[in-house]
Amino acid sequence: MKRAKLLVLLMFFFGISSFAQKMIGYGGELSVLSIKPNVRKWFSKTTGVEVFGGIASELEDFNPDDLEAGFKFLHALIYTRTDRTYIGFVGKWKWVNGVNPGYHFNLPVAGVLIGKEWFLKRIHRKSFAVELGYQYGVKEYGSFSNNLSVSERFEEFPLILNIRYSFYKKK
């Protein structure tokens, strides 16, 4: 019985990645307030993940001095050989420089998105994608400066608008 369970478990894990169109892509993403390199891996035609990291800025202080890193889980709704329409979940961690000098804080951000990716060439796979979505992250903090209490609130820009370009290779 244990061997049968092990065989079914192995078939499940290897069966997920045995579908066609296993690809890995390296590229860059330009967002409303950030620029970041990323790696996207499609395990099958419909399931993929992405890891990214880069520099960002705040809406009130348009200075790209913040760092962010995160991941996306993607599920393709419509797939053809030349394009893919997908939905996804985003989770990222942002390290924000506060208004007071030397004060930094962490901001977790979660969101959902929908995207469309077009493949530009058949042999040397290049792709162009546009993503739209919503994200949420709020952090309130207080600090003391010269015996004065300063309370600040930082909200992540709620609109996700990404433009990405990637170079893919088939596995």
Task: Work out how many domains the chain is built from and give that number.
Answer: 1
Residue 49 lies in a domain: yes
Q: Is residue 75 part of a domain?
A: yes
CA separation for the pair 88, 47 (Å, rounded): 10
Residue 13 lies in a domain: no
Summary mean pLDDT of the chain: 83
pLDDT at 6 over 80: no
Q: Is residue 9 situated within a structural domain?
A: no
Q: Does 45 reside within a domain?
A: yes
139 located within any domain:
yes
Q: Work out the percent of the chain whose per-residue pLDDT is above 90.
A: 48
Q: What is the pLDDT, as a whole number, of residue 147?
A: 67
pTM above 0.85, yes or no: no
What letter represents residue 20's amino acid? A
Domain that holds residue 55: 22-170
Residue pLDDT, tens place only, 86-135:
999 999 999 887 666 667 788 899 999 999 999 887 666 899 999 999 99
Closest to 127 in 3D by CA, of 90, 74, 89: 74
CA dihedral 152, 135, 157, 55 (to 10 degrees): 100
3 within some domain: no
**CATH number (domain holding residue 67):** 2.40.160.20
Average pLDDT over residues 44-71: 88
Q: Is 118 within the bounds of a domain?
A: yes
